[in-house]
Amino acid sequence: MERIYFDNAATTSLDPAVLEAMLPFMTEKFGNPSSIYSYGRESRLGIENARKSVAKILNAHPGEIFFTSGGTESSNTAITAAVRDLGCKHIISSPIEHHATLHTVEYLHHHDGVALSFVKVLPTGHIDMEHLRELLQNSTEKCLVSLMHANNEIGNLLDIHAVGNLCKEFDAIFHSDTVQTVGHYPFDLRNTPVHFVTGAGHKFHGPKGVGILYINENVKITPFIQGGSQERNMRAGTENLYGIIGFAKALEIATAEQEAHSAHINGLRMYMAEQLQQHIPGIGFNGDLYGKSLYTVLNVAFPKSEKSEMILFNMDINGICASGGSACTSGANAGSHVIRAINSNPNQIAVRFSFCKNNTKAEVDQVVAKLKELI
């Protein structure tokens, strides 16, 4: 059976050119980057060249880029450091953040007594900017604002500059989970009012288990992971050498082809939305599909029925990969906290379809035809 993969917001396939760039560092260039002999120096050079490449693409200084194990570690590091090192006693976040953020802010609230406020979310899934201003204005403590750039389930895009400028006005620290947007949108971090952003290689055809944390050069924090002096004393542990090489290569490819790929992917997303509306009565969409929205994600609300409740299972049997909300909780049946926050309709089933450069219109047609059968 031919498999159709429409779950690219969860992870993407590794680009063959990325694997090619990684292979030498998995075989003959295997030295520990901390060793002083030639094998080690070769590896160290690979890492520093990757760092320069990533920094150039994001318009940051190489000294502001730190390699991590992925988005979760990056967000944990930034949020914890803001409280521990930067004097933030009040966290403002939203109820629709990724669990890497939500669970961290809730942990700090319960264990360290940090005040925690959630900004209201509008029915479209966007952040209520007026409420955010109110929360910042009324806070007696220094704030950390942690809001994601694009929601991984419904695709809503945050105006990162507007939030950053608001944080500036109230002298707040701003962390944005940009895992869904690094590698998908152009970044200009030198001219973006943000203290921390994150990235994960496997969201744009790079390897799993490697990410970045951007720490603005004006911010001084202490390590989250204790140990050796790797990553300029900021992140202990032997570096994921070939992962780092792969991250940089994947980001280079994604950036070079961004315009063409985003147009192709958004075309597929809107075509599928149109086809579903045409062929399946009663469907809707979660999030702001026709407004400010991530071009890779389509979150469909199917009318609830005995058949639609089994939709993910039946799609899987038919070789179609999609997810019910976020893949990070795909094993749980508690439903999606994101969908609950914006759509309390008990008569709808949410399914997220997310696309990449390798998907085709023919695949969309096949999935829509299969959904007609299943529902």
What is the value of pTM for the model shown?
0.96
Active site residue 167: no
Q: What is the pLDDT of residues 91-114, one digit of tens each?
A: 999 999 999 999 999 999 999 999
The pLDDT value recorded for residue 1 is 74
Sign of CA dihedral 169, 137, 75, 287: negative
* Percent of the chain whose predicted confidence (pLDDT) is above 90: 92
Per-residue pLDDT, 225: 96
284's tokens: 């809707």
pLDDT digits (tens, 9 = 90+) for 157-196: 999 999 999 999 999 999 999 999 999 999 999 999 999 9
User: Dihedral (C-alpha) 178, 180, 183, 186: value to the nearest 10 degrees?
Assistant: -60
Banded model confidence at residue 81, pLDDT cuts 50, 70, 90: very high
Annotated active-site residue in 88, 143, 321, 328 = 328
Q: Which of 256, 337, 339, 348 is nearest to 311 (CA)?
A: 348
Contact between 66 and 48 (Cβ < 8 Å):
no
pLDDT at 308: 86
Q: Which domains does the chain have, with CATH numbers?
A: 4-12+258-374 (3.90.1150.10), 16-256 (3.40.640.10)
Between CA 256 and CA 266 the distance in angstroms is 17
CB of 192 closer than 8 Å to CB of 149: no
**How is residue 179 written in tokens?**
């895992």
Of 158-162, 308-312, 353-357, minimum mean pLDDT range:
308-312
Supply the DSSP string of 26-42, one letter for each residue.
HTT----TT--SHHHHH
